[in-house]
Structure formats: C-alpha cells, structure tokens
Amino acid sequence: MTVYLLGLDGASINTIKETLERTRLPNFERLIEKGAAADLKSVYPYVTAPAWTTIFSGVNPGKHGIFEMFEVREEKILPSNMRATDVPLLWDYLSWANKRILAVGIPFIHPAPKINGVFVPGRFSPRLSCYPEDTGSRFDLQGFDYDDLSMEEKTEKILVEGSKKISIKILKNLEMRAKTISKMIDAEKWDVAIIVEGLPDDLLHLSYGDDAIVDEMYLALDRLLGQIMRRMTPEDSLLVFSDHGFCNVKRVLFMNEWLLQKKYTSLNETVLSRLLLRLGLDWESLSQEGFTSKVFRFTLEHFPWMATRITNSLRSGMVVNENRQITASKVSAFSINEPLAWLRISEYQEGNVTQGSLILELEELKEKGLLKNIFETDKIYTGKFVRFAPGNILVEAPDGWAVDTLRWNRRKLAGKPLFTKKGVHRREGLLLVYGCSVKLDSPRVHDIVPTVLDLMKLPVPSNVDGRSLLGMKQKEPVKLLNVTQRL
C-alpha cells in the first residue's frame, strides 16, 4: 500500500471551481466526484512557511516556532527554515517506523534532511540540495532550482519581462518537474510519496484574474494529478491539500501610515526622494501603464545602473527601512503583503504602549472597516515558542484587502495593491481525499500528519494538535506514561 500526498501551494476549491466553469479538469473532477472534498483551514498567519511547517508537524506555530516567511531575531530579519524546528516532522515519524519515503518539492527546508528515502527541497531554500547526495545524478533536478526574488526584484523583473511571459516560463518549469516526479515515483515501491508543487502560489499572486493562464495552470496540475492517480491500486490512498487558498485583492491598508499617524514610528526621507516623489515618481505611477512606467521600463532595460540609483533614493520615501524600523519605532509592523500583519511593541524605545492600549487604538481601524480581526499572539498559540512570535498582535484585513508594511503611501491609510500582486492568500485552502473513507468536519492543516500516521497504522503522539480524519473510531493518543503504568 502506498499513501500519496500531493501538496499544491495556494490551491483552493474556489479557484478550481472557477476554472471548472470554463474548462474540464478530468482528474480533479474524478477526485471531487468519487472522493471527499472540503476547504482546509490554515494557521494564522496563513502564509507558506508556517502553514507548511504545521502541515508536516501537526502542531501550531507556538510549538514548531515558525511564524513567518522570515524570523525576527533581535535586530535581524532572516528567512525561515523548517530544519530549525525541534518537533519531529512527518518524514521523521515515517523513517523511525522504517517506512520508505519519497519527499519532493518541500519548501522552506535547507539543507535536505536525512530520511529513509529520497528528499528534494522546493521553493525558498538558498540553493539546491538533496538526500542522498547522488539523487542529482539519478534524476533531472533542474526544475527544482528556483530563484526566489524579493518584492523589489520581482517588480523589476515583471516590469521588464511582463507578467504573461513569466507565467508561461513557470508553467514550462512545472512540466519539467512533472517528468522527474514520474520517474521518482516509479524508481521503487514507496510507503509514502510526498509531492509538493509551489506553482499555484507563484502564479496566482502574479496572474489571478487572467483566466487563460490560471486555467492552463490547473490543466497542467490536472495532468500531474493524473500521473499519480494512474499509478494507484485499490489499496492506495491519495490526499491532495494546500497550505492556504487565494482570493482577489483590490485594496491595501498601509499599516505604517497608521503607525505614523499615532506617532509610533517616524519617516526618514531624503531630500532627493522628496523631490522625486513630488515629480510624480512613486509606486502608484510605476504600477500603472503610463508615461512614468514606460520611462522607468526603458531606463531599466537600457540603463539599469541609473534605475538602481533612482530606486535607491526613492526607497527612503517609498519603502520602509525594516532594520531601522525595529530599533527606531515604538511599534513596528511586519508582513509580506497578505491580508495579515504583525505589530511588535519595541524593546528598544521607551514608551507607554502596552498590548492592551494598542488593541484599544486598533479598534478604530475595525470600525472603519479596514481590519476584520485583531488577535493577541499569546492567545492564539500554545507552546514554548509563543514568545518568539514576530509581534504581540496579529491583525487581519477584510476580504479583498491586503496589509502593506513595506511601503509608504503619502499619508493615506488605504491605496491600491502592487501591480505584481493580483491575488492574495485566504485562510481556506484545499483538501481532496481519494481511496480511503474520511470524516471531513471542518478539517485543518494540523490534521494531515495524524491522518497519514493513522493510514500507516502508526500511533499519533499526544503533542500533535491535529486529529486523524479517518472515518474509523478515534483511538486514544499514545502517551509514554500509559506504557510505564502498564509495566
């Protein structure tokens, strides 16, 4: 028996249904018809790194310690890495039970961990690594060598190449990976095959709303799904899931402008930046088809050094200096432009700000309809890492909004999204189950590990926050104490 796990970063039932209204997806359709389907609830914040870590550990971010795409450690901001967590991950449990595992495309893990099988990381690792080391000579791993760019690098690239051209290129990379994945699945008899594909997240940010491109992506993913389903025997099971879903974005709340209004942070513009902004060169003008963006595109293409110099001076008036912000503000905000942001009360600045007073003040944004939820970190997480969360408070914007903590917006609280972001994350992702009977009663990302362990007839440790989704009667979680008592 083989358990197949297909993780589709950012895929959701609503976006699949939108595509199904326009085109057929035979394998997804068969899954929805013959299997079970549900929205899979993600963690807070529903961003890739903490959500995948919860998927593969079964515990909340307070226990695994990964809260963001980045980590705020004292004055530094570093990218997250699943290897930093001390909780066991799915492949650890399976390796200890001597099961053979194929794990490919797993994001935010570097270098590849040693498992009983083959491991190839996916997006957001500094460079390609694999276990065993000779994996690269057995399989073509070219498609797994991602270049993950920063917001500004991405903006420049999209300005020069156009989002359509980039979307087509990343679709081609998927075909390359799909070929390798097929070969890997056939290489031996696996107990568990874990395949994560990062494409939906990449593409839906860039091209959500461009129906032709989104449909083409789901068609390519449908073919990948077909490759797996064709290999399944009646004993096998398949779980298709995502770390979060997607929705359209129309408006943006500029968190730093609010912090500036409340005198929790300060502006640090240069004279040149103020001049350039007055001349009309800003994010808004650059993100529209018009004279300014055409000139900027031309400059980028032919005189990249000049474009860099202009953006460098503009940066102080347009982009928030993150490192300065941590030390020089009473309250600083962090996010990656999804509908969520962290607020952190400074340890470096004297002030009379408390968690309670900040929440009271934030209520005004809720009343204005600019925020949907205000959470206190120590109330939504459990575990020894709660105090390492990037902020004391996590705010959530209403549907169709994103929260920006990276840019200034000329003293206005609300504005338009970056033209590089057509879609933003939503909490509800995707769960499709095929080949085994499950009870899907508001499933969460925490439930994947216990479900897989249950399918493999392995015990579920009591530290795990999720529960098995298998229809059969729930067993008591295994506690070491019970064993000693019996002895």
Residues found near Zn ion in the complex (CB under 5 A): 9-10, 48, 201, 243
- Give the H or E element holding residue 44: none
CB of 392: closest distance to Zn ion in angstroms? 25
124/296 with CB nearer Zn ion: 124
Report residue 1 as tokens.
């028996």
CB of 15: closest distance to Zn ion in angstroms? 13
Q: Which residues of 198-221 are buried (b: 16+ CB within 10 A; e: fewer)?
A: bbbbbbbbbbbebeebbbbbbbbb
In whole angstroms, give the CA distance from residue 399 to residue 348: 34
CB of 51: closest distance to Zn ion in angstroms? 6
Tell me the H-state helices in 248-392: 255-261, 271-278, 283-286, 291-302, 304-318, 322-328, 355-367, 377-380
9/216 with CB nearer Zn ion: 9
82/281 with CB nearer Zn ion: 82
201/216 with CB nearer Zn ion: 201
281/394 with CB nearer Zn ion: 394
Print the SS3 string covering 80-131.
CCHHHCCCCCHHHHHHHCCCCEEEEEECCCCCCCCCCEEEEECCCCCCCCCE
Alpha-carbon distances of 53 from 50, 87, 449, rounded to whole Å = 5, 10, 11
108/408 with CB nearer Zn ion: 108
CB of 198: closest distance to Zn ion in angstroms? 7
10/105 with CB nearer Zn ion: 10
In whole angstroms, give the CA distance from residue 154 to residue 146: 13
CB of 453: closest distance to Zn ion in angstroms? 24
Tell me the H-state helices in 319-447: 322-328, 355-367, 377-380
CB of 333: closest distance to Zn ion in angstroms? 21
Is residue 224 within 8 A of residue 181, CB to CB? The reply is yes
204/464 with CB nearer Zn ion: 204
The three-point CA angle 200-69-221 to 5° equals 15
90/445 with CB nearer Zn ion: 445
Rounded to 10 degrees, what is the CA torsion of 74, 76, 82, 83? -80
123/407 with CB nearer Zn ion: 123
Contact partners, residue 8, CB within 8 Å, separation at least 6: 196, 197, 199, 200, 221, 240, 241, 242, 430
CB of 105: closest distance to Zn ion in angstroms? 12
CB of 351: closest distance to Zn ion in angstroms? 35
201/282 with CB nearer Zn ion: 201
Give the dihedral sign, CA 422/158/408/335.
positive
CB of 380: closest distance to Zn ion in angstroms? 19
CB of 445: closest distance to Zn ion in angstroms? 11
**Residue whose Cβ sits closest to Zn ion:** 48
The residue among 365, 372, 428, 380 whose CA lies nearest residue 397 is 372
The residue among 406, 482, 466 whose CA lies nearest residue 56 is 466
In whole angstroms, give the CA distance from residue 56 to residue 85: 11
45/58 with CB nearer Zn ion: 45
Strand order through the sheet with 251-254: 401-404, 251-254, 414-415
The three-point CA angle 468-469-473 to 5° equals 75
DSSP state at residue 132: S
CB of 123: closest distance to Zn ion in angstroms? 9
What distance lies between CA 303 and its chain's CA centroid?
Answer: 34
**Look-up: residue for tokens 């999204």?**
417
CB of 10: closest distance to Zn ion in angstroms? 5
